[in-house]
Structure 1
């Protein structure tokens, strides 16, 4: 009986190793499964103050973001628990009928783990000081640099670790 269990464990281990192999290059982040893309964006234009809302310009850009991603297979939206990030993702979340999942920007490994468990593309909304690290942790090989004045650049990471950037508007 013990030998049978040992053989089963070895067979499952070997099978798991084979399943993990593919002809596509792997990413460092390990967040990919089944052809998904990961979209990362800094929150859009914000008003002044503590935990500010989006400006009218930011609100219009959030609608453009929803237009860009509505047919991209997004199954989850992650945002820090700030008003500006939640408002950035709200038009897409409403259009797709999904909730925005808050994440802790101080625990990016938990975010990467959550994304890894999903089938389908995701949108992550962060901040100027977190987006570059997130892109790298999610497998991006070309890490963007952002300043406090950078709004509206959508970074898309594919399974090969290539990062494409696109201006929202």
Structure 2
């Protein structure tokens, strides 16, 4: 989720190449899951790219910590852009006047983030991000809570 928020903050900046940056960040989310799975299978093979980068022979698809790390990396690559897109939607509804007033009052960027950006982000995007995280944790209580939030987003 932290990576998704960071992606949203980058996409929200008024950069010269903003369209290209947004497209580049959203590509992993847009790639079909089957294609993504084949890509990660190739990366995590015994003679794959991951082992070439770290310079060691790790069996990523076996049991143990390495299999968990491989799944976490692939899942983060696939879902972080989606979280970023949801948070970006929340960021875009915050009026620029509030940030301008904070700058005039001498509020720094970190304080603006904690005092303005997070509290004023769209409630639905925050709710949806939490729902996404809860669904991924695997417990039945979280799943039922996230399903209820998805069915009735305005009640939460």
Shorter chain as denominator, the TM-score bin is: under 0.3
User: Which structure is higher in helix share?
Assistant: 2
TM-score (norm 1): 0.22
Q: Point out which structure has higher relative CO (alpha carbons under 8 A, 6+ apart).
A: 1
- TM-score (norm. length: structure 2): 0.23
